[in-house]
Amino acid sequence: MNHDELAAIEERLGVRFPQPYRDSLLKGVQIDDDDPEPYFHQDPTEILITNLELRMSPGSGIFAGAAWPSNYICIGKDGCGNYYSIPTSDLQCAVWFFDHEANTFETISANLDGYFAYLTDLSKKFASLYGSRTPVAPPAISGVKDPDAVLARSKTPRESILNPIALDEWAAFVDSDVDLEMQGYSTRMNPFRGGEIRIDYPGLAIMRVDGHVCEFKYIFGRIVATRPVAAVIAKLELAAVALNGRVLTGR
């Protein structure tokens, strides 16, 4: 990472990184001669996307009963829904671990050197368990495509957060379309107790097609339709023209 890339991330997030973290990103970090991704992000785009996603995560109480702390910078994750972060105000860069199962933040090291030592130990544990320094990923299934269709202003769905479709833009389009209805929540059946579960989902719109309710979910600046029928794809294409976006399928 260079100085310009680092400055661009700080400007977009509206923060100034503590100096030890800035130095680590500029110098580059390796653990046992490997890039410690995803436990320590060093790619500028990945750092920016991850932190923007955490800030925009739907639901106000999913991080220890609150939204993602505005002064926390996510420096890495473990791929299991848990995150490593540092407070921007902490010049020593103590590293905090968010455990999504316990729904708590806890300190795992007093500084970045301690965190890198922690990652070195973790690497050794992986080597003893899996025969390599990182967990073995399951093999990819050849030919299988993502069944979702996504409306975004980017080349890939995940990059949509860098140039997002604003919620009010999407809401205005829904309001102007005779087939769409802004519902703002999703419903599911409770498989254990029966009855309907209602989940607040800002920006969720619905369209009825042949007696079925099709959902258009707004998340991270993009619109997602799961397993869309032809009428849903056509509606997304119409929205893409109005919202200056593109429809991504099979990715």
Range(s) within the chain of domains with CATH label 3.40.1580.10: 3-130
Q: Please tell us whether the domain made up of 3-130 is placed in CATH 3.20.20.70.
A: no
pLDDT in tens, 213-232: 999 999 999 999 999 999 99
Q: What are phi and psi of 41, to 5 degrees?
A: -70, 135
Q: How many CA atoms lie within 13 A of 68 on its CB side?
A: 20
This prediction's pTM: 0.84
Encoding tokens for residue 176? 């102007």
SS3 86: strand
Sheet holding 222-225, edge to edge: 180-182, 205-209, 212-219, 222-225, 149-152, 246-249
CA 203 to mean position of chain CA atoms = 17
**What is the per-residue pLDDT across 121-135, written as a single tens digit (0 to 9) for each?**
988 887 777 665 554
What's 156-182 look like in SS3?
A: CHHHHHHCCCCHHHHHHHHHHCCCEEE
> Where residue 200 falls among pLDDT bands split at 50, 70, 90?
confident
